[in-house]
Amino acid sequence: MKTFLLIVSLGGMLLAAIWGAVELMLSLQGVEIGFHGRLALFLGIFFSALIGCGLMALTFYSARNGYDQ
């Protein structure tokens, strides 16, 4: 029962995030982003993903090598 409630609540949060993103994109249809804006968006997404992947790799490395004991 706990697993089912977890799946339902996480699914609800995912749907709310998707709905919010779609609403935001639809409200910004007339806005144009220049080269520097696109570059900033790309670099922000890239480095955020890089840091996230690096931290997850460190977490798995630490857990497998016994540093968390």
For residue 16, what pLDDT is reported? Answer: 98
Q: Is there a contact between 52 and 46 (Cβ–Cβ < 8 Å)?
A: no
- pLDDT per residue as tens digits for the range 39-69: 999 999 999 999 999 999 999 999 898 887 7
- Measured between alpha carbons, how far apart are the two ends of the chain, in Å? 31
Q: What is the pTM of this model?
A: 0.58
CA distance 32 to 37: 9
